[in-house]
């Protein structure tokens, strides 16, 4: 086995070389010869090699300059390694049917999901190995929803894959990871102005322990009587908390709250 580079804690690097876990990631991505795959943070290249065996083209973006040269050495013809930051990378340079398959640094997850979701050229499929806790938050159901789950599920069909134990990484992180699969929705689930819609949702989650009546009356600068009427018109009990709501519930609130946004 090729010796792995030393992981940098500052960049959240944890190398995965377990064949079973790597194969599970590639399988979840349904990677085939017609695919262009974007890999984020290829590191030592263990997942990269699996991807190049299956994909038509792999574009690997690596922030750590010290790793780029090693990745470029003996690179197959279908691999392009770019030194750069995925958060500023121009996704419109990729073909419209590209996929993202990656073992990403934990600190990057929320910002990366936002960038991929809001891009003018989003991938049609993402398979990301992330912290198990984060994967579960993204895939949450009403009762355990968060701003992250609402935002992600607005743009993607979310499902969970194999759990990858912490001991399979070098160095091992403190918690297990899990495969998170995101399939881009062909149409958005709600007919809303997205900027205004997410402004409303952020108001609701501004204080998770508060009821919708309290958080929305503050956010909308409306009286409690008016906010109560708005929530009841949306079919909701004013003392409901934001984590209990579905996307559809937020859509109903949005319709009534729009004049106040």
- Give the domain CATH number at 215: 1.10.8.100
Return the pLDDT at 5: 52
Judge whether 139 and 158 are in contact, CB under 8 Å: yes
pLDDT at position 83 = 95
202 and 90 in a single domain? The answer is no
Please report which confidence band the pLDDT of residue 43 belongs to, taking 50, 70 and 90 as the band edges: confident
With contact defined as beta carbons under 8 Å apart, do 37 and 98 qualify? Answer: yes
Domain count across the chain? 2
Domain membership flag for residue 189: no
pLDDT at position 47, please? 96
Q: What is the mean pLDDT of the chain?
A: 93
Residue 243 CA to residue 223 CA, distance in Å, equals: 22
Query: Has residue 44 been placed in a domain?
Result: yes
Residue 11 has pLDDT above 50, yes or no: no
Shared domain for 179 and 230, answered yes or no, is no
- Asked if residue 1 is part of any domain, the answer here is no
Query: Considering the domain boundaries, does residue 4 fall inside one?
Result: no
Q: Do 56 and 16 reside in the same domain of the chain?
A: yes
- Please indicate, yes or no, whether residues 170 and 242 belong to a single structural domain of this protein: no
pLDDT reading at 3 higher than 70: no
Residue 237 phi, psi (nearest 5): -75, 130
Q: Does the pLDDT of residue 60 top 70, yes or no? A: yes
Note the pLDDT of residue 4.
58
247 and 154 belong to one structural domain: no
Interatomic CA distance for residues 197 and 175, integer angstroms: 34
Q: What is the predicted pLDDT for the residue at 105?
A: 83
User: According to the model, what pLDDT value does residue 14 have?
Assistant: 65
Asked if residue 242 belongs to a domain, the reply is yes
CATH of the domain at 45: 3.40.50.150
pLDDT of residue 8: 47
Find out whether 231 and 212 touch, Cβ atoms under 8 Å. Answer: yes
Q: Are residues 167 and 250 in the same domain?
A: no
* 3 located within any domain: no
The per-residue pLDDT for range 81-109, each reduced to its tens digit, is 999 999 999 999 999 999 999 998 888 89
- Report pLDDT digits (tens) over 194-214: 999 999 999 999 987 899 999
Is pLDDT at 13 greater than 60 in this prediction?
Answer: no
- The answer to which of 2-11, 65-74, 247-256 has the lowest mean pLDDT is 2-11
Domain annotation covers residue 2: no
Q: From 184, 216, 250, give the residue that closes a domain.
A: 184
Q: Please determine, for residue 226, whether its predicted confidence score (pLDDT) is greater than 90.
A: yes
Q: Residue 173: what pLDDT?
A: 84
pLDDT at 10: 46
Helix ranges restricted to H, the chain:
19-28, 46-54, 65-72, 109-118, 132-138, 147-155, 194-204, 212-219, 224-233, 247-257
Averaged pLDDT for residues 183-188: 96
Tokens 């040269």: give the residue: 69
Instruction: Examine the domain organization and report whether 43 and 167 are in the same domain.
Output: yes
Average pLDDT over residues 125-151: 97
Q: Say what the pLDDT of residue 70 is.
A: 85
Domain shared by 60 and 88, yes or no = yes
Query: Of 164, 184, 204, which residue constitutes the final position of a domain?
Result: 184
Give yes or no: residues 87 and 113 share one domain. Answer: yes
Residues 161 and 213 in one domain: no
Domain final position from 156, 184, 212: 184
Name residue, tokens 């600190």: 107
Q: Please indicate, yes or no, whether residues 233 and 126 belong to a single structural domain of this protein.
A: no
What average pLDDT does range 63-68 have in this prediction?
Answer: 87
Query: Domain containing 213: what range?
Result: 194-260
In a shared domain, residues 38 and 128: yes
Q: How confident is the model at residue 15 (pLDDT cuts 50, 70, 90)?
A: confident
- Residue-level pLDDT at 66: 84
Within-domain flag for 76:
yes
């Amino acid at each position: 086995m090729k010796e792995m580079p030393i992981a940098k804690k500052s960049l959240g690097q944890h190398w995965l070389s377990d064949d079973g876990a790597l194969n599970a990631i590639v399988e979840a991505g349904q990677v085939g010869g017609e695919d262009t795959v974007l890999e984020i943070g290829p590191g030592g290249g263990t997942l990269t090699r699996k991807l190049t065996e299956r994909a038509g083209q792999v574009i690997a973006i690596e922030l750590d300059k010290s790793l780029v040269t090693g990745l470029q050495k003996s690179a197959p013809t279908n691999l392009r390694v770019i030194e750069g930051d995925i958060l500023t990378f121009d996704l419109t340079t990729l073909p419209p049917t590209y996929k993202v398959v990656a073992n990403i640094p934990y600190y990057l997850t929320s910002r990366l999901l936002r960038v991929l979701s809001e891009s003018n050229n989003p991938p049609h499929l993402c398979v990301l190995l992330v912290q198990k806790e984060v994967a579960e938050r993204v895939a949450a159901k009403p009762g355990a929803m968060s701003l992250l789950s609402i935002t992600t599920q607005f743009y993607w069909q979310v499902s969970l894959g194999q759990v990858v134990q912490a001991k399979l990484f070098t160095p091992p992180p403190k918690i297990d990871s899990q495969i998170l699969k995101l399939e881009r929705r062909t149409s958005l689930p709600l007919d809303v102005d997205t900027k205004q819609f997410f402004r409303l949702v952020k108001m609701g989650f501004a204080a998770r322990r508060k009821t919708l009546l309290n958080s929305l009356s503050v956010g909308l600068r409306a009286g409690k009587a008016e906010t109560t009427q708005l929530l009841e018109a949306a079919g909701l009990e004013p003392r409901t908390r934001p984590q209990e709501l579905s996307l559809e519930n937020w859509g109903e609130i949005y319709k009534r709250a729009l004049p106040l946004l």
